[in-house]
Amino acid sequence: GPSGVPAHATLRPLCSLWDASGRWVCGAPASAGAVRPGSPTGALGPRAPNGPPHHPTPQQYTGGGDWYMDTGATAHMAANPGNLLAAHPVHTVARITVGDGSSMPITHVGHAAFPSNSMPLYLSNVLVSPDIIKNLVSVRSLTRENPVTVEFDMFGFSVKDARTRMVLHRCDSPDELYPVHSSTSSVAAPMALSAGVDLWHARLGHPNIATLRPILRSFSFTCNKIDDHTCHACRLGKHVRLPFSTSSHVASYPFELIHSDVWTSHVASNTGYLYYLVILDDFSHYVWTFPLRRKSDSVATLTAFYSYVSTQFGRPIHALQTDNGEEFDNLAIRNLLATHGTIFRLTCPYTSQQNGRAERVLRTLNDCVRTLLFHANVPPRFWPGALATASLLINIRPCRTRGNFAPHHLLFGTPPSYAELRIFGCLCYPRIASTAPHKLAPRS
């Protein structure tokens, strides 16, 4: 139990129940009765065979509304029935025996509530005696009556859900005792309100606060704790991801940062391709696409791309942004980046939004590929040809986010030419005269 409180005030261990003649009261009430070592569990009876009960007047109740945790008490105890949610008089002469051998009368038995952030916790069979100065919460009874654990530390104590280990109530204890803090002086009042909100929230199928508030306000009682209501089941069943912040950063020069991703096709191409690798330059938004037969081909493709950039542009690649896929996060890729001094930026697992630019260019490319195939009435297995055309067209079209400059213009320094463009899938006549078997064979 808490130290620093006189035994006659705080009911130290051995809070046993005895009648006026000193006999153990057994098998009688509906209380949590304390246990004397070597004796069966005792309980207060609804009536006693001997003597009139002692019921003090309200002026005789001197205990305050504060509650304190006690690891030695065998039952919850209060000084005033007004501190409980409900209490009824006990018609018995049973008494509470404390550590120094003295005893106190029991006038009422009732129940109270314990503060909790989500699930309601109750204190059953609380013994009321006017001689008590400190209201006590029996840790043993609390953990038996509710699916919780209590952990004490140098700063205070925590009541946790025994199954999920979620903290239901936390109290700091600056003094020698472990007080139970609540919004008011009484534990019963705020928890009666909270229990009502929790009950109706569950009955109505766990609606949100905006839906619950007008319903509760239509009742005859007032629930001022609606906005403070939390529900553990709602956290498990309705948890959503917070929105991602929009990045406005743009690279200052070509190949300062490149984004890459791999897309999987459910239709194998006529040449056996099932994937393609996309690479996007953050500065110019220029895009390169490379069809792949296996995801593992990404290593060889990126190695060749490094050589291409070094030879054609004379620039190093400063940083590479990819998702957490195994085609990127492997020893071969890490060795390649380490050799060129490139910073490797990986997204968090299941967070493709952090590689948003690569995801968006994949959507743009795939939309264009599908549209080209549908317009040309070409089977889906020819998607690599449509992909090459889509990449070319995206690179020569104005980019709104880059001041309506085409990616080709920003990367190569010259505006693109549209003179040789033709519709994808249009009819053409290739000249085959040089390979014709004889002079009378078709020339195209």
pTM greater than the 0.75 cutoff = no
* pLDDT category of residue 220 using cuts at 50, 70 and 90: low
Question: Is 227 inside a domain boundary?
Answer: no
Query: Residue 244 has what pLDDT?
Result: 63
176 and 281 share one domain = no
Distance CA 59, CA 393 (A): 90
Task: Tell me: do 284 and 394 sit in the same domain.
Answer: yes
Give the strands of the sheet with 275-281, arranged side by side: 287-292, 275-281, 258-264, 319-322, 343-346
Kindly tell me if the per-residue pLDDT of 44 is higher than 70. Answer: no
Per-residue pLDDT at 99: 78
The answer as to whether 9 is a domain residue is no
CB atoms within 10 A of CB 194: 24
Residues 264 and 400 in one domain: yes
Mean pLDDT, the chain, as a whole number? 79
Same structural domain for residues 403 and 292?
A: yes
Please check the confidence at residue 338 and state whether its pLDDT lies above 80. yes
Bridge partner list, 259 = 280, 321
More confidently predicted of 353 and 418 = 418
- Asked which of 244-253, 293-302, 392-401 is least confident by mean pLDDT, the reply is 244-253
Out of 159, 180, 201, pick the residue that ends a domain.
180
Burial class (CB in 10 A: 0-12, 13-18, 19+), 50: exposed
What is the per-residue pLDDT for 101?
80
**CATH number of the domain residue 100 falls in:** 2.40.70.10
Residues 398 and 300 in one domain: yes
Q: How confident is the model at residue 388 (pLDDT cuts 50, 70, 90)?
A: very high
Are residue 391 and residue 270 in the same domain, yes or no? yes
- Please tell me which of 103-107, 126-130, 385-389 the model is most confident about, judged by mean pLDDT: 385-389
Asked if residue 49 has pLDDT above 70, the reply is no
Per-residue pLDDT at 55 exceeds 70? no
Shared-domain flag, residues 291 and 404: yes
Given a cut of 90, whether residue 228 has pLDDT beyond it is: no
Same domain as 153, residue 267: no
- Is the pLDDT score of 16 beyond 50? no
Select the highest-mean-pLDDT range: 91-95, 153-157, 159-163, 303-307: 303-307
Domain boundary among 180, 195, 218: 180
> Based on the domain organization, do 175 and 298 belong to the same domain?
no
Which has the minimum average pLDDT: 111-115, 226-230, 438-442? Answer: 226-230
> Span 177-202, mean pLDDT?
61
Do 168 and 275 lie in one domain? The reply is: no
Q: Is residue 154 part of a domain?
A: yes
Inside any domain, residue 281: yes
Give a yes or no: residue 377 inside a domain. yes
Which segment of 198-207, 251-260, 317-326, 358-367 scores lowest on mean pLDDT? 198-207
272 and 146 in a common domain: no
> Does residue 365 lie within any of the structural domains?
yes
421-438 mean pLDDT? 88
401 within some domain? yes
Same domain for 281 and 393, yes or no, is: yes
Which domain covers residue 343, as residue numbers?
A: 257-412
The residues that are catalytic are: 70
Report if residue 433 sits inside a domain. no
CATH number of the domain enclosing 279: 3.30.420.10
Residue-level pLDDT at 224: 53
- Mean pLDDT value of segment 270-289: 95
The answer to whether residue 434 scores a pLDDT higher than 60 is yes
Which of 154, 180, 206 terminates a domain? The answer is 180
Least confident of 53-57, 197-201, 258-262: 53-57
Lowest mean pLDDT among 7-11, 211-215, 267-271, 421-425: 7-11
Domain count, the chain: 2
